[in-house]
Structures are given as C-alpha cells and as structure tokens.
Amino acid sequence: MKIRDRYAPSPTGLQHIGGVRTALFNYLFAQSQGGAFILRLEDTDRTRFDDAFVQNLYDTFTWLGFHWDEGPDRGGPVGPYIQSERFGLYQKHAQALVEKGLAYYCFCSPARLDALREEQAKTHAKETGYDRHCRNRSPAEGAARIAAGEAAVIRLKIPLGETTRFTDQLLGDIEWKNDAITPDPVLLKSDRFPTYHLANVVDDHLMGISHVLRAQEWLPSTPLHVIMYQLFGWDHPVFCHLPMVMGQDGKKLSKRHGSTSIDEFRGQGYLPEALINYVALLGASYEEGKDLYTLEELCSRFSLDKLSKAPAVFDYKKLAWYNGQYIRMKTDEALAALALPYGVNAGLFGELGTAPDAGQRAAFTAAMALIKERVSFLHEIPDKISYLFAEPLIPAAAEFIPKKLDLSQTIGLLGIGRDLVEPLAALSDTQAEAFIKERAEKEGVKLGDLMMPLRVALTGARVSPPLFGTIRILGAARSFARIDRALAVLQGYGSVTA
C-alpha cells in the first residue's frame, strides 16, 4: 500500500504549534515510509477565511524547512487541493446518498431549529440536537419541493440502534453507539456549501489518503466519518489520533501558557531547527539517550509505534534549552545573519531600522563568538552586545572597586589595565590569559581584581561577554578612550571604600 497522508488546515487563523505538530508527524510518517505528504486547504468556512492566513501557512513551512509533495502551490494528480474549488464533487456525492435513501432533504427552518433547541434546554431533554423531523419524508416529496425552489439541507441518515467500530493505530479498538452520534448531521448546507464532515471524507477518499494522523480532539468525529465511508461503500483510512499537547497545568495548550503561534516563536528568536526537534518529541520517542536530531534523522527514525497515548506537556524551558543548543551550533557568520534583523530593529547601529555599515557588520559578526554560550534566543543578542556599538554609561564608582580594595587602589589597577590593552588586542584568548596572569603576578595583585575595573570601564558592567574578545573587537584606540573616560570620572571622586 502506498502511504499517503495529509495536513488539512482551515485558513482561518495563524499557524500554531498544535497544527505544526500534526503536519510534522504526517510529514515524518510519509518520509519514513517512502510515501507522499499532501497539503489540502479546507476553506469552506468563508466567514473566517482570509488570504493572509493562507500566506501565513506558506511562510510558516518555508521557514520551518519542510514541505508537502502535493498541494495547492505544487499541484499533483488528485487536485484541486483547495476545497472551495471542489464543490461540485461534494454536491454530487451528497446527492448520490439521497438517491440511495442514505441521506435526505431537510426543510426545517432556522426558526424551527432554534425553537427546538430552546425547548430541549427548557425541559432538560435527554436527547438533544435535531429531532429527525424530515427523516421519513418520501424522496419524491423532497425532490418535488427542491424542484419548486424550496431551500433545504441534506442530512445523513445515521443508522440507529447500531454500534460503529474501528481500530485506531494508537488507541486500539474503539466502539461508539450510533445513538450517541450527532443526530443526522448536515452534509450539504442550503447554500450548497459542504460541511466539514462531508468534504473531509470525500476528499480523503478521492485523494487516496491511506492514513489520517490528527489530534485526539477529533476522535468524537471519527465514528461519524466511519459511518459515512460505510454508506458510500468505501474503505476508510487508518486512523491515528495523536496525543494532545497540554500546558504545565494539565490543560490544553493555549495563549495563557505562552506563545502558541509560529509567528510569535519566530519573533522571539526561536530557530526552526529547535522548534522542529522539540515538537517532534511531543508525544513520540526515537532513541534512548539522544536529544538532538536533524530533520533527516527524525524522518528515518519515526514510526507510529513510537507514539505515546499520554498527553504531551509543552515545556517552554525545555524548548529554550533546545534553542540555545542550536544557536551554539551556528557558525558566527550564520548566527550573525539570523540575529542581524533583531539588531537593526533594536537600533543597534544608529536610529531604529538603520542597517550597519561595513565596520559595524564586521564587529557584529565577531561578537557572535562572545555571546553564543550566553543566549537562548536571537532577540537577546542586541542587548548583550550593545556596549560594542554605543558608549556605555559609566556606573557608580562602587561598581569598579573589587572587594576589600578602595578607590585609590582601583584607579591604580585600571591604570595597569590600560597599559595591557594594546598587547591584549593582538593576542588570542589563550595567549591573552597567560599574558594578563603573568602581569598580575608581577604586580602582586589578584587576576580578578585586575580584570574587574577594566571590564567595567570597557563594557559598563561587572558581568559582560568575555573581556579579551571585547578588547579585540573594540580595538586599542576605542579601549583607551573608554578607560581614560572612566579614569577621569573616578579620579574626580573622593576616597571611597568598597
């Protein structure tokens, strides 16, 4: 059997983490089996449809770096891949069920249905929903009223008193009493638009979908879909309802837990590799003792028997860890290219939105080596290295003074540090460390005491990216200027003890 699965989003909102997880699992399964992964746009909800959401879908998966084999933008043998372009198919198949006596025209007005719902609520009726008022009308009467121009929907005749059974690849054997299914659901609306259930089943069959991998929230709809396959006389695909994605509080992941749309994750500086790696592990396992996977490795290792029945918990701290790992894997040049838009938007190179000149671009790239180990998100980078592009404020004198020393001693240490700047700017980290250690021993001072006031003078803070790399990027001339500025301020103070 040729494996064919699909991602079938409704373009009524931005792509979110749950939808991407479904798409990713379908992609990985198809790839692992040498099958085809299909994109189908289920755009029958025209009240919430927006072309911007379609574009967001394409942009999201371009950024994530995996794509479908067939779809609206790629074509394929079973198109069109947009439901609004397939309306004739749905009308044809709904009509076929009517002709076989397996569906029927319903002429109940919205007012009657509203009154029915109100009465059921008022009386706390055990059975709710449509009361099958038109179920037993003769086909001839229905056809005559339609021919006369009367509006009607087409409803499915749910076989009553029976039990629908199917096997879920993950959850095992499922039984569902037909009487518990929504009573005779609408297949085709009065405006001839299909409902989700009709379009979904017809499209999956005609597109040759062999496996349906979707979230467990769709499980209650599956008995209805199985019944529809049976009434059409078709074999249904293999169903696999994926474990839910929950927040730390055990409730379904939502905005209250944090970012959920992919645009939000992108804006915060997550890398696509980190999101894919982490999301692929939500409800699935691959190899004991291994955390980091390339997309190719995930494709080769994925299988349905590695899925978990239990809900997956979305851990933002764990995702941040993954993001930090992938940031550290980047070359300085690649990381600089990814982080540059954040620097521009932060006004790192002048006014907000100003692009760097050649010198600033070189300094920005060189700075990546200083902060790779210190950041988890791209958006953190500009703040970490802002001191390289604008003169930092000189902090209070106490910030310069090492523990157990005084202002006078600190000024002396900073003077020694000034003498070291030019040779340090020309040395590698290893050479610079040996050089400054030797000078500290010669002066009879602690290495940390020698470095602290120098660090504060150059960066404006006690905690900063590595000092030696900072001196190399600033260069001797800019370093001298900052040290002299700090010395002038410190010498203006009276005696202060740390």
The contacts of residue 236 (CB under 8 Å, 6+ apart) are 166, 225, 226, 229, 230
- Name the token pair of 301: 């290792």
Max distance between CA atoms of the chain, in angstroms, equals 108
Helix (H, G, I), strand (E, B), or coil: what is residue 321? helix
* Alpha carbon separation from 216 to 28, 245, 252 (Å, rounded): 18, 10, 11
* Alpha carbon separation from 351 to 18, 145, 343, 410 (Å, rounded): 38, 70, 11, 36
d(CA 311, CA 283): 7
| Residue 384 appears among annotated catalytic residues | no
Report H helices in 259-357: 262-267, 272-280, 295-301, 316-329, 332-345
* CA quadruple 224, 226, 229, 230: dihedral sign: negative
Helix (H, G, I), strand (E, B), or coil: what is residue 130? coil
238-242: strand order across its sheet: 172-177, 163-168, 238-242, 211-215
Question: From the candidates 100, 177, 255, 437, which is the catalytic residue?
Answer: 255
Bridge partners for 497 per DSSP? 406
The contacts of residue 454 (CB under 8 Å, 6+ apart) are 413, 414, 417, 418, 420, 421, 467, 483
Instruction: Name the nearest CA neighbour of 319 among 244, 406, 248, 391.
Output: 248
Cβ count near 240 (within 10 Å) = 20
- Give catalytic residues, as residue numbers: 255
